[in-house]
Structure formats: C-alpha cells, structure tokens
Structure 1
C-alpha cells in the first residue's frame, strides 16, 4: 500500500509544490477551498503517474474536518505525513486600523483551525507519523499585526505539541522556509524583485529530502 500524505493548503504556493512532489512516493490527500486549483494539482499529479484524493473544503469547518479525518481512517487507517501550509494573509495595515473581519478570518484560519486539526490528525499519525508545520519571521513587523499575531498563536500550539510528543510520537517538525515567490509574499511585498526569491518547487524538494530521509 502507498504511503499516505495529507496536505492542508494544497491549492497554491508551497502547499501545491509539496503535494506535487510527494505524489511521486505517496498517495496525496489534498485539502483546499479552491476546487479549480485542486483540479490543476490533480492534473499535474496524474501526468506524472501519481494519485491524489481531492478534498475541497474549509479547514475552519469543524464538521468537514472531522468527516475528512474519519474518511481517511476508514479508507487507510492512518497517514504517514501531514504538511500544513494553509494560511490567511490579511492585508497589511497599522494595528490601529485592523479590519474586524480580517482579524476574525486571520484568527480562524491561522490559529483556531490548528486547535481543530491537531486533535483530529494526531491519531491518524500515530506514534510513527510526521507532521510538518511552517513558521515565519513576521512577529513584531509593522503593519503585519493580524497576520503575525495569528501565526504566533498557531506556532505556540505547534511548539507545545512538538515538545509533548518528543518521546511518544508523532514527530512534529516546525520549518521556516526562505522567502519564496508566492501569492502570499506578493501580497505582503508588492513590487518586490521576484527573481531573487526561492521557487516553491525548490524549497519543497529540499524540505522533503530532509523530512522523509531523516
């Protein structure tokens, strides 16, 4: 049976690149809200001889996440790898002008969803699976308030989980990728010279080589 990898946030950027690369060795369960982007991913995976299960759903929907994880359990019993790249990049704004809807969406996607997903995904990973979560360096940067605060909450929970499972598993890794040419980066740094940025495919290949072979 193929190894199973769950990628949340698989429709673009690093998540898309990770899912595409993983399909060479794993059956990929690709989660994202954008159906069209998931279908593009599936086309690429099938063209390279891989297989994927598409799950077009919102990670903030607790019922949908519970159903997805139950379906994974019923079909495969467990997963080998979980990579969580889903993120909401709220518009940059001074802290005194944060929009309430952007704040709520940032907290829901970047923080609250982590509190939903870890309890659901951890049993699927068991003692031997690996979870990979992604940090960045925006805490305290001006105009990044809602994004950085919600990511800080996410990382606080992730780091606690990593320490709690050091001796029992699953293995929980927190990675900080280099600056990449992605839509999120463009939103935060419009007009930046993108030629100087890393390509998500290169970052995915390097990361997976370390994670899978470790």
Structure 2
C-alpha cells in the first residue's frame, strides 16, 4: 500500500512559496509539511483538505538535529521513502552593511540556511533513494551590497546543494536547483519595502512554474 502513495516533504511549508508548493502537490502527493509556525501549518492543512488532499503536519525547527532525526525516522517507519523533497525554509536577515553584521543574526542565518541543510541532506538522502527528487531554491544575492548575511549563508546552502547534485547525477537521487520568479512574500518585503507587489508573480503561479520545471 505504501508503494502506491507518493510522499512529498516540504520544509518551510507554513507560508510563501513552501505553502503554495504544498497546495500545488495535491492530490498527487501526501504532503509532510514542516515549519516552526503551528498556526500556519494548520491553515495549510485546511486548504489541502479542501482540495481533497492530505497532509502530515510537523511543527518542528529544522535547526534542531534531534527533531529532524525524529522526523525522518517517523517517515521511514510509516512510508519507508520520500519521493520529493522541496526545501524552501530560509532565514532572512535585515539588510545591513558588512561592517555592522550582528553576530546573533549571523549565527541564526548560518544555522538555518547552511547548517540545517548539511544535517537534512544526510537524513533525507536514504529516504529518497535512487529514484527520489530533491529541489532547492536559489536566490543569488551573494556579493551584493547590504546582503552580506543572507547572501553568504544562502550561497553556502546552494554550494552544498550543487555538490550533491553533481555527486548524484548518475546514481540518484535527482537534485535540482531552480530560481523562482519574484513573489510578494514576507522574505521579499523585508528586502524590498515599498515595492509594487501587484507587479510580482503570485506564490501559486510561481509554484506552478517550479513544478513545471522539475
């Protein structure tokens, strides 16, 4: 029975692109939705159920190795696999000059954007096996002025993902990196206050574009 169920793990699923992707996967996948915000996950679950889909909510912090180990063990025990992993979780630090970097913000960004990815890949890879598919989302800000914290930690995440993609090109799992269209998310609002949000691509349209690419 479990072989007939396609399982999608969405990390960072409570809002923005992650939530839109989780909804877009209905009804083809059972979604394991991971985020720290319980309320956001519950609202996502309501929308998924309204579309006739199903989800397992995992209100967890991806920077907690023990929580991620428990999550992946639970997935293994229940389904034995993951068919698709969409990693959208990200920490966005306020724009600041490099000589004013806040050590606490740096640590938080490193833990979420880089360290968590280095922990999740070894945990999720065995569940993906040879046939699974992992997707990461690029936002190339490294080296741009005032993006020191976000740009550097996001670039670290992408470097790790690209190495994994190169290493598994022949053996699997498949690893993809996509760059979504600009969206009216909380992440973008923090970087571009006052921007005309109506001119941006909706998260639902961006999710559809991403899934069409992969």
Aligned residue for 2:85?
82
Q: Distance in 1 between matches of 2:146 and 2:19?
A: 27
CA distance in 2, matches of 1:144, 1:208: 28
- Alpha-carbon shift at residue 23 of structure 1 (Å): 2.2
Matched, 1:124 2:123: no
The gaps in structure 2 that reach 5 residues or longer are: none
The one of 146, 150, 154 aligned to 1:151:
154
Contact preservation (8 Å) 1:135, 1:176: yes
SS in structure 1 at match of 2:32: strand
Q: Which residue of 1 aligns with 2:115?
A: 112
The aligned counterpart of 2:179 is 176
> How far apart, CA to CA, are the structure 1 residues paired with 2:183 and 2:35?
20
Establish whether residue 15 from structure 1 lines up as the match of residue 12 from structure 2.
no
Corresponding residue to 1:204 among 204, 207, 211: 207
- In the alignment, what sits opposite 2:38? 35
Q: Distance in 1 between matches of 2:212 and 2:194?
A: 32
How far residue 182 of structure 1 moved from its aligned partner, in angstroms, is 0.4
Q: CA RMSD in A?
A: 0.7
Distance in structure 2 (CA, Å) of the matches to 1:92 and 1:210: 30
| Aligned residue in 2 for 1:138 | 141
Once the two structures are TM-superposed, the CA of residue 137 in structure 1 deviates from its matched residue by 2.0
Task: Please tell me whether the aligned partners of residues 7 and 82 of structure 2 are also in contact (alpha carbons under 8 angstroms).
Answer: yes
1:60 partnered with 2:63:
yes
- The two structures have a TM-score, normalised by structure 1, of 0.97
Question: Residue 140 of structure 2 contacts residue 155 of structure 2 at CA under 8 Å; is this kept in 1?
Answer: no
Q: 2:52 maps to which residue?
A: 49
Shift of 1:210: 3.0
- Give every structure 1 segment of 4 or more consecutive aligned residues whose post-TM-superposition deviation is greater than 2 Å: none
Displacement of 1:179: 1.0
Aligned length: 211
User: Structure 2 CA distance, aligned partners of 1:55 and 1:97?
Assistant: 36
1:160, 1:207 → 2: CA distance? 21
Mapped to 2, the partners of 1:209 and 1:194 lie a distance apart of 24
